[in-house]
Structure 1
């Protein structure tokens, strides 16, 4: 539930940008920098903040994070200008990676070692739910109550989620406090660093095309603008399968599972371009892409955390930061691709990057064998 609230807060603004730009009298490109700002803050500040709070009792930490999200969403709802709105976006961006790093670790501890991977996958079900319901429904709701009303709803949801966590979650001590320097020793492990870079590469591949999926549907597949939202909702619905598969298969080799779904990701993106003119085949291609997209969230998180077992909370947050760096880089590559080759090439470029990620897997595995 917390994951759903947090992901909806992060990405809902994408659907609200036109309304925000008009209301605050700024260009759409200026409003769009709010998205870039969020990802940048997550990338830079996530690891040190998580290391700093790694010893905090988990229930209190999660409740505090959700209260912070409630306050920031309320501030966004009353923002008189884009500068105040930017502050309202910076605050939750500081807390988001702390949640993802510590939530994954805590879910694994609550469930026990035999069910840890599935527990992390269950937490990441919040991403699928946000893509399926939160973001589309929030965007639709804004048509009736305005973008400020959408942020008020998120503020209320954040408070309700904080209350549920406080009432339902058992207390979870994080253990003895360790310094940032001690936790940062995981960066001396080449296998851990290689896994982090692999996550960044995978998310770069995905978001090279996914950032512009609505544009692909409209200009390449010629889907009407009124129907794009339903296609995106379907993309999120199919992703529930990927989340389930990712959680079940993670008990095996995380690198092997990463390779399977990254290859599926590339195939799905390429086929989306190839079959754009055929509704039935386009549905199949998007289904493959959607399954891989959602499966790779928990897969990458668990893979990186296992590569840094001595500081799992920090390792999880570093993966979130790497993913956000990939999101930002993918958006840039996708933008350049559109300007140079058109939107019909986005899936192919993303597929090439995904293939590069697959090719690097034996090199990453070799580092693991060397470590062993």
Structure 2
């Protein structure tokens, strides 16, 4: 099979659907502990806060080490690199599954985060190189749909497995499926060579790129807004006394996410700017409706669905935009965006937690914070049309 980027207009769905399983399993690996923290804490004899570090330090490892590792591996064959990452994720999940020592579990989770820090940037660049530039946006949308499906369907399903068979069963299952995925990718996907090291794809050159810096700014504002509010979605639902509770709110949110996947996949190549501005604006309106209408039946449920449409599309749209800012060094450009994404999660969740503490648990100032930051990100996006619509070729 050819080792170069496809030059025809055929979109090989089987390649990109298979690649979408990688973000699916990455999201599961990252967030799996959240539904079983109390079980993990009890089994490993630590308190719930310490068990929570298994999620936080995973994200920290991805944020810190993603950029240097991507820069170091820029010349490697993309398929071989992806298989190495999946092997590592699979093994580290299995270590978590059988470990009875918190320190070993913590090390395995940290190394999983490190592996994911390499995976997120390179998976998009790998996919884009397997199709023509006219289908680059669709490739990103299909691949990143795996993360949306992982959040909306995968997490509840694997949490159910943990509830029925124990939290270790969840990690055994993930580890085994990830290793199987590695074998399928090795058999089915084409090899794509890495890039020769040049000044144009070096980290110092990429980080000076105005378009990349603009995407990083938008990422910071939008992710602080969304994650800062979403982490307290349960508090918000309880405060609103919402009919149907958290389960119905998450169902509406998930339904909106799935609609977004279909919409973005169909329109991203020809309407990236309109999608990005429109969906970000929809997010602002949904947060505003929470402030104005609070728990009003139907309105609040529709707002959760609208927020799901906006929120779930963020990663896909921003990865598509940043990949258009450079013709060489896409892996490094996307690694910068991914690192900012992860750092913004930490900033957003800590900032909203601080606000919640200082206001005596009032969720409304947190929602207001989300509105301010998301509005800022939307305004920057509106003013950056030339950057968003840039064609690096």
TM-score normalized with structure 1 length? 0.91
228-237 or 336-345: bigger deviation: 228-237
> Paired residue for 2:276?
258
Other structure's SS at 1:265 match: helix
1:308 has 2:323 as partner: no
> Paired residue for 1:26?
46
Alpha-carbon distance change, 119 to 321 in structure 1, aligned in 2, over 3 angstroms: same
1:187 to 196, 203, 207: 207
Q: CA deviation at 1:272?
A: 3.1
Q: CA deviation at 1:367?
A: 7.8
1:162 to 182, 204, 210: 182
Answer yes or no: is the 8 Å Cα contact 2:36–2:167 preserved in 1: yes
Distance 2:382 2:302 in 1: 30
1:207 has 2:231 as partner: no
1:41 to 61, 76, 83: 61
> Paired residue for 2:126?
106
Q: CA deviation at 1:152?
A: 0.7
CA offset digits 1:220-243 (Å, max 9, x no partner): 33467xx63453244223202212
Alpha-carbon distance change, 65 to 113 in structure 1, aligned in 2, over 3 angstroms: same
Q: CA deviation at 1:198?
A: 1.5
Other structure's SS at 2:324 match: helix
CA offset digits 1:5-30 (Å, max 9, x no partner): 11111111111212112222222222
> Paired residue for 1:7?
27
Distance 2:76 2:182 in 1: 16
CA offset digits 1:175-218 (Å, max 9, x no partner): 43448982431112233212212112111111111111123223
What residue ranges of structure 2 are gaps of 5+ in the alignment?
1-20
Distance 1:94 1:183 in 2: 19
254-263 or 86-95: bigger deviation: 254-263
Q: How many residues align?
A: 370
> Paired residue for 2:92?
72
Answer yes or no: is the 8 Å Cα contact 2:252–2:301 preserved in 1: no
CA offset digits 1:108-145 (Å, max 9, x no partner): 12122111100110001101110122111111211121
Please show how residues 291-306 of structure 1 align to structure 2 within 5 Å.
291-306=309-324
Q: CA deviation at 1:256?
A: 4.8
> Paired residue for 1:61?
81
Q: CA deviation at 1:255?
A: 4.8
> Paired residue for 1:336?
354
Distance 1:37 1:207 in 2: 16
Other structure's SS at 2:119 match: helix
> Paired residue for 1:322?
340
1:85 to 92, 105, 116: 105
1:232 to 245, 250, 260: 250
Alpha-carbon distance change, 141 to 229 in structure 1, aligned in 2, over 3 angstroms: farther
Please report the RMSD computed on the Cα atoms of aligned residues, expressed in angstroms: 2.5
TM-score normalized with structure 2 length? 0.87
Alpha-carbon distance change, 106 to 76 in structure 1, aligned in 2, over 3 angstroms: same
> Paired residue for 1:52?
72
Other structure's SS at 2:36 match: helix
Distance 1:255 1:336 in 2: 34
Please show how residues 96-135 of structure 1 align to structure 2 within 5 Å.
96-135=116-155
